[in-house]
Structure formats: C-alpha cells, structure tokens
Amino acid sequence: MNFEKVAFGFFILLALTLNFGFFLGDVDNPDHHDVFELFAAIVVNLIATVLKFGDRTHMGAVLLATSLVADLQLIAAAAVWAVAVQVSDAGTDPATIASVVSLSGGALLANIASVTLLIVETVTLRR
Amino acid sequence: MVKVFILFFRRMRAPLLVLISAYSISIAGMVLIPGMTPEGEPWRFDFFHAFYFVSFMASTIGFGEIPYPFTGAQRIWTLISIYLTVISWLYAIGTILSLIQDPTFRRAVAEWRFIRSVRRIGAPFYIVGGYGETGRLLVGELCRRGIRAVVVERNPSAIQDLELENLSYEVPHVLGDASESHTLLEAGIRLSNCVGVLALTSDDQSNLKIAIAAKLLRKKLKVVCVARSSDTMANMASFNTDHIINPFYLFADHMARALHAPRSHIIYQWLVQPGGQPLTEPRTPPRGTWLLCGYGRFGKAMARYLRYEGVSTVVIEPFPDAAGAPEGTIIGRGTEAVTLREAGIYEAAGVIAGTDDDANNLSIVMTARDMTSKRTRPEGSSFVDEDDNSPAAEGVNAQHQNDSGPESGEPNRNGADDHERPKESLYLIARENRHDNHLLFEASGVDMVMQSSRMIVWHILSLITTPLLDRFLRQARHRSEQWASDLAIRIRATCGEITPDTWAVTVVRETAPALVDAIDADHEVTLDTLGRHPRDRGKILPSIPLMLVRQGEESLLPADHQALEIGDEVLFCGHPRAEDLMRWATLNSHALDYLRGAGNGPQSSIGRWIAALRRTSAARTDAPHSGRD
C-alpha cells in the first residue's frame, strides 16, 4: 500500500462528497446550504488540485483539468455569496443561493468526472 | 515550457499544501470563535471577513483588529494563526528561492529559452555542433557576415566562452550533445529556415553521429562535416553528407598545389581568405627530398599528396610499425639532431613537423633550422638571404593580424626565383595543434603553419557564403600558370595591398530587383555598367568579375562588355567596400539608371504616369515625322 495513493484518493473523494453535501437540498433554500460546507469543499478541492500537480501522464493532465474546473466553479460560488452579502444588500435571498448552488452543481460534475477517471485508472491497473 | 511548469509544481506541491492548510485552519478558527461588538453584543466573523483578516495577517501587513477589537479568545487564536501562516509563507518562499537556484530547474529554463530564441530567429540559420576552436572562429565569421547560427556544445566552459563573446547577433546556444536527435530538434533542425548543420567537434565519432542524425531527421538539409580519418570520411560519404572536410587532406592538397602550380595556389590563397587582410605572396616550396616528422593522419596525408606530386619523402617516426610507416623510415622523433642528420637534413629541401605535439613540432623546426644554418654559416652566403626571406615567411603566419602589408608585399618574385635560391634556406612547415600556441609558431618564423581550425573555417565559409567560389577555384585549377599570374597581377592592381572579398550577384528578382527591371525593359546592362561607382560613373569600382554562370555554363573572367541576362550568376572579387556599392546598383533602379547613363527618370507613380502621357502625346505629334523610336 502506498500512502501517497491513499492521500490522493482520499482528497479527491472528499472533494466530491463535500461538494455533493453542499449541493444537496432545495436549490433556493438558504437553510439547506451551509456556508461551512462550501468553505470545506473549496479547501479540499484546492488540496486535491495541488496533489495532482506534476503528473506528466495524459491521465494526470485530465485529472488536473477537472480539478481546476471544480476550483473555478466553487470559488465563483463563494465570490457570488460574498458579493451578495457584503457588497449588495441582497443577503442570502433565494436568488443568490440558487446561483451559488447551481455553480457548485457544476463543480460537482467536474468532481464526478475526476472520481470516475480515478476509478477507471485504478481498475485498469492490475496490481 | 511544459517541463519548467512541471518541475515548478512538483517541487511546490508540499509548500502549497502547507499554505492551504494553514490558511484554512486560521480562517475556520476565526469564524468559529465568538467576538463581541463595542456594545457588548455577541458577534462572529463571516468567511469573507475572516479571509480578509487572515490574508493581511499572514502577510504581516497588519491592519489591526477589524472590524471590532478582539476578545481574549480571538487574540489567542490570532497568535497561533500568525505563527502558523508566517512560517508556511517562509517555507513556500524558501522553496521557490532554492528551486530557482536548482541546477535541474535552471537547465530546464535555459532549454526553454533556447528553444524560444531559435524559433524567433526568422532568418536562415545554421546549426553548429561543437564550439571548440573551429566553432568559435566560424561563429564569429558567420556573425560578421550577417549569417545566423545556433550552437550546440557539450562542454559548459565553452558555452560560457560563447556567452562572453561580443558577437553582433544573438547566438542561441544550449549545453548538450548535437548527435542526440532531441537536441537537434530543439536546435530547430525541422524549422524551414534551418539551412544546414555543421559538425565541427574535435571527435570524429561525434561528427559522424551528428551527420547521421541530421540526414535522418531532414534528408534535404545541407550537412558539412569535419573528419580527421579516412574511414570516417568514407562512412560519411556513404550516406550523402554534402561536404566532408578533412583538414589534413585540405592542407596536403594545398601544399601539393603550391608545389605544382605556385601562381594558381596564390590565387586560391587570396580568394579563400576573408577580405581585408594583408596581401602576401608566400614562398614557393622547393622540389627535392622532404623530411616528414610524424607519420600519423597528417603525415600520411602529406606523404600521399607529395608522392602524387613526384616529390620524395623521408619519414621520421618513433613507432614505425604501429604507424604503418613505409620502408626506410628513420626511427626517432626528429627533435634530436642525430635523427635529422640520419634522415639527411643537409640534402633535404624542406622539413614538415607534423606530430600531434606542439612542443615537439616547435623543437623539430628549431633544431632543423639550427643545423642547416650552422652548416652554411662558414660559407657566408646565408646571412643576407635569410634576412631577405623573413618578411614573406612571417607574412604567411600572420595573415590575420599583422599590419606589415607594404613590407611583405614588396618582394615580388616569381617561382623561378625560388629554385635558384641556395639550398640552405630550408623550407619549414609546422603543424599547429592548439591555437594557444599560435604566437609561438608565429615567432618561430616557419614558412607555412598548418592551422587546421583556420583552414576548416575558411573552407566552410567559402562553401556557405559563395558556393560559386568553389566552382571558380575548381575551374581555375585547370588553367595555366601564365593565366594565374596575370590574374594575380590584376588582383593586386585592383585591391591594393589587402586580400579581396568575393561575392556573387544573381540576376533574379529577390536579390537584384533593379537589374531584373532594367533587363526586362530591354535595356542593356553590361558587367562594365555594374562595375562603376554609383555616385560617379566616371570611376571604376575596384572589382573584377571572376566568373559568369549562364544556364549552368561557366565562363571564367568574362569581358567587361558582356551583357547580363536574367538568371545569370556572376562571381566578383574586389575591395571589401566595393561589394556594398555594387549591391546598391543591383537593388536601386535610380542608381542603376544613372550607371546606364539614362539620366533621372520620374521616381513616383504619378510622375511616371505623367511621363507616359507626355510620351504618347509626343508620339502622336511626332507621328508624321516618324523619326523616333
């Protein structure tokens, strides 16, 4: 067993689960979407991205791309939230929360792709 | 570029992870720990403000406790966070700094820069494999002529030399082996503006590999190779290497030509050298028995060419069996008087010091001169003669820097003179292995120094810059001595006391638009027109048309009244300044019009239109008289 592989798989999966957890619930209900969960998802996604750096293979490149997409989507979601609360007076109204959640939904797709790729790679690797 | 990124991120993985964790821990703590507003109401950071606070705290900018003064619990957490984040930053910055100094990273960056600068050249360029003595000379000369070069060299100190060199063009260079295909690809062998590969390393095997790799990667590319042994030459020739240069054969051929046809050899010497150097007439080597010290690759080449010229040689070689020396070889180095006496130095016409050791070569030359002058001194005839001799002899060795032009040019003797010379003035030839010793060879005052790097460079330059010159010299070989002698007198009269430059004028639109326009308009442009000064057509440019190539047919020394046709190639030699003036007339139609004596025509399109209108109206009014064409 390789500890690096454990950490790698752990963070990639955790990024997906946290993202999914945040995404779950009514799309425009602020009570169903916790800000802490979004924060955790962003942090874990960033860590997963860094772990994917420096892999020269084609698979590594695609994995990195999916992570970058997820980062982009989640950071955009956080930015929307921050602007809504701090800059405009809208606060966490249903419209804002809906756009935050839909952005995180995009990130979720990227994370699913990432995990799928990871599983495919693991399955084809027979050792 | 990709390599640089990958290396960077691979090394930065750990520091980035530490930074992300430190930030997330600090931010999470800040959000979780309750604070208090000045009114005593409980208050908490949200993520946005926590990120804002941690960002300026971690970078130690420190805007203070924002938006409200902190509670004790918040201050404890801030304290912990400061140490956590500041240390992570130091770690990350430290890693970046060490990465920048890391040799592998620097190499990756250097390689990336090299590739980028090669792609940016744009103009035709040559890949030079090996930046030794030959490479340095050649790259310097190429830059002087405005030809771009890319250098691949294995030795880091040679690369440093190149970086310190003050060249007029940027020469992209990389540390690597030019025989490896990926290095050649990085050097741009597949780029359409790469016009050739020059393999100039000191190792035959490497040159061979470079030639093979270059020919395999791009079949049509011109490959010029230096080879020092005959089997490598045969090997290179077997896969169509365009030019194979063996410095030993080159020199031996040179020598044979000097023996065989001294005048034609002088023409060759003058034309092959770069222009603007003092014009010297080297002493003609005498026929007779020659002593050949050292029977290595150089010695073998010399023996072969001398035998072909019907000149007998006595070989002196310490290990005749290993070297495969012929019968009658004297065993020894030639540095001792005994060996030289045994080989018959008193009867010899000349001595060739051709070992691969410069100290031995110098010693041979000095011993030989000492012995022969000792013998003749009592007879009292050699004193004057030797003095008379020295300027010309020195001139050969000092072609590139001596400004003793007028002095060495003055004794204008011909070949017959040399045969009458008393035998005691032994003709001395020394092989110079390392350029560092050049001053010593120059001081030793030998008649001819065999400098392989210089010879290789001149030869390559004439191949690259004026391929017509090579053709001309090959044709000139078959001409008589009288012809060569006349040409030599003409060159001396034209260029004064410096060696001529050679250049080619090709009558095609790309290189000579003005000429093509004039010929298209049915104006006659003769060689004489071209050879006049574009500011004052009464003056004649110091240039000589050496050869005219029309539809593959060469005619040597074409007459001045010869008219040019489209597609002609003309090789000129002349004063280095004459080339620019002549090019002016080939490029600028006004300059050419003036030279043709056509006067100043209209220069702008409107001017030409008005002139055309005038001509037609004039033609109409003149029609009844019909006296014009």
Q: Is A15's pLDDT higher than 80?
A: yes
- Residue B400, pLDDT score: 42
Q: What domains are there in chain B, each with its CATH number?
A: 2-101 (1.10.287.70), 123-245 (3.40.50.720), 249-452 (3.40.50.720), 469-598 (3.30.70.1450)
Q: Do A43 and B46 count as a contact with CB atoms less than 8 A apart?
A: no
- Percentage of residues in chain A having pLDDT higher than 90: 54
| Residue in B with minimal Cα distance to A45 | B20
**Residue that wins the pLDDT comparison between B282 and B164:** B164
Residues 11-30 of chain B with CB under 8 A from chain A are: 12-13, 16-17, 20-21, 24, 27-28
- Residue B422, pLDDT score: 45
Report phi then psi at B541, rounded to 5.
-70, 145
Q: Can you give the C-alpha Rg of chain A in angstroms?
A: 16
pLDDT tens sequence across A19-76: 999 999 998 888 899 889 999 999 999 999 998 887 777 888 899 999 999 999 999 9
Domain ranges of chain A: 3-124
Q: Is B180's pLDDT higher than 60?
A: yes
Average pLDDT over residues B429-452: 85
pLDDT tens sequence across B193-230: 999 999 998 888 999 999 999 989 988 888 999 998 88
pTM, to two decimals: 0.67
Q: Is B431's pLDDT higher than 50?
A: yes
Q: Nearest by CB to B47, which of A39, A47, A56? A: A39
Helix (H, G, I), strand (E, B) or coil at B107: helix
Q: Does A70 touch chain B (CB under 8 A)?
A: no
Residues 40-99 of chain B with CB under 8 A from chain A are: 46-48
pLDDT tens sequence across B553-593: 888 888 888 888 888 899 998 888 888 888 888 888 777 88
d(CA B241, CA B224): 7
pLDDT tens sequence across B94-124: 999 998 898 888 888 888 999 999 998 888 9
- List, in order, residues 6 or more apart from B560 with CB less than 8 Å away: B526, B527, B528, B531, B545
Give me chain B's average pLDDT, please: 82
Q: Is B621's pLDDT higher than 50?
A: yes
Highest mean pLDDT among A105-114, B436-445, B491-500: A105-114
Average pLDDT over residues B180-197: 90
Q: Nearest by CB to A43, which of B9, B10, B24? A: B24
pLDDT tens sequence across B259-288: 888 888 888 888 888 777 888 777 888 888
Least confident of B308-312, B323-327, B374-378: B374-378
**Residue B173 host element (H or E):** strand B173-175
**Residue that wins the pLDDT comparison between B231 and A73:** A73
Q: Nearest by CB to B6, which of A35, A46, A56? A: A56
Count Cβ atoms within 10 A of the Cβ of residue B505 and give its class: 0-12 exposed, 13-18 middle, 19 or more buried: buried
d(CA B347, CA B587): 60
Q: Is B387's pLDDT higher than 80?
A: no
Q: Is B421's pLDDT higher than 60?
A: no
Average pLDDT over residues A2-13: 86
